[in-house]
Amino acid sequence: MPPAKRRKLSPEVEETPATNGGAEENSRISEHEEESQEAELASGNDNLAPVDLQDESSESKNSSTTSAPSSAADDRLARFAALKSRASASAKSNLAEAKAEATRAAIDPSVLASLSRKSAIASHNLLKADTEEEGGTGAFERKRAWDYTIEESEKWDERVARKKAARNNNAFQDYSAEAAKMYDRQMRDLEKSALKDGGRNRKEYERQKAEILENAARTGGLEIVEMENGELVAIDKDGRFYADQDSAGFVEQKPKRENVDRLVDDLKKAEEARMKKRRDRGRDEDGGDVTYINEKNKQFNNKLARFYDRYTTDIRESFERGTAI
């Protein structure tokens, strides 16, 4: 293999004798060589710099392009996880609500009301027993009365007395008394309906009343009459609103549709109650002799029969046969 040729980087310098002029020339040559080498290195660095910058820019672009898709994918995964958790929570909530609704539907409301009522009665009786055990007889009522005002206590006493009088006045007396009781009951129903509809019927009644009274006072047809019991009643002579037994102004009245419907409903309720009593009375009849005048008297006679029938059966049969002594 032939020997490699050496590259001449600089022209060979002929050897000259070592003189002062030659030394200066050699120093200039060496300086020139150093400058040329530095220039070559600088140019090499300049040629390499754009390549390095291009490599760095391409790497940054690649990193940015790869990071952008990864961040978008992470966002989609996070949203999907949130939607999945929300769907799971809503499914659990719907299942719990469905179970609660099924439980409520399976429970009879009447049974639930009965249980709550029995629980309230039991707690009341337990509290009463504990209070009277500590304070003696009547301690519970005294302690409960501490929470009532005088006005509330008086109203309660009046209510109890009124209910007692109504129970005692339950038997039939005459048709006038029955009509009065029916009238009172209908007025109570009207008051209840007035509370339900916000008092519209009551306001309409007061408006009609004031209008008729104004017309009667304007025309001079209003007069004050004292009744047999001393009550003062305003009566208009035409009998439009306040009327007596001789007034015929009611025939010109045109009631509203709602009032007619309420009257029909009241008549239907009365007929149903009457038929129910008739059915109950027919069911209780046993075909024997009727020895009672009402239900209370029947119960009393049955109680007497349980104790004394074994002694009075022979006497009663003898009276029926006519062979009694």
Residues 58-68 pLDDT 10s: 555 555 556 66
* Reported confidence tier of residue 240, pLDDT bands at 50, 70, 90: low
**pLDDT value at residue 48:** 44
Alpha-carbon torsion 305, 309, 313, 316, what sign? negative
Answer yes or no: is 309 within a domain: yes
Question: Cβ–Cβ contacts within 10 Å for residue 140, how many?
Answer: 20
Nearest Cα to Cα of residue 244 among 217, 229, 226: 226
Answer yes or no: is 181 within a domain: no
Nearest Cα to Cα of residue 186 among 262, 255, 256: 262
Residues 167-209 pLDDT 10s: 777 767 788 888 888 888 888 887 777 777 666 777 777 887 7
Q: What mean pLDDT do residues 136-146 have?
A: 83
Answer yes or no: is 312 within a domain: yes
Whether the model pTM is above 0.75 = no
Alpha-carbon torsion 240, 244, 245, 246, what sign? negative
Answer yes or no: is 305 within a domain: yes
Residues 2-37 pLDDT 10s: 555 555 444 444 444 444 444 454 555 556 566 666
Q: What share of the chain is helix, strand, coil (3-state, %, to 5)?
A: 75, 5, 25
Rounded to the nearest integer, the mean pLDDT of the chain is 75
**pLDDT value at residue 45:** 46
**pLDDT value at residue 264:** 92
Distance of alpha carbon 306 from alpha carbon 299, whole angstroms: 11
Q: Which residues contact 222 (CB under 8 A, 6 or more apart)?
A: 213, 216, 234, 235, 236, 237
**pLDDT value at residue 49:** 43
**pLDDT value at residue 58:** 55
More confident residue, 144 or 84: 84
Window from 92-101, 210-219, 277-286, 288-297 with minimum mean pLDDT: 277-286
Answer yes or no: is 317 within a domain: yes
What number of H helices and E strands is found in the chain? 8, 2
Distance of alpha carbon 135 from alpha carbon 70, whole angstroms: 81
Answer yes or no: is 319 within a domain: yes
Provide the domain count of the chain.
1
Answer yes or no: is 29 within a domain: no
> What crossing angle do the helices spanning 200-219 and 175-196 adopt, rounded to 10°?
120
> pLDDT at residue 124 above 70?
yes
Say which DSSP state 225 is in. Answer: E
Answer yes or no: is 267 within a domain: no
Domain limits for position 325: 294-325
> pLDDT at residue 152 above 80?
yes
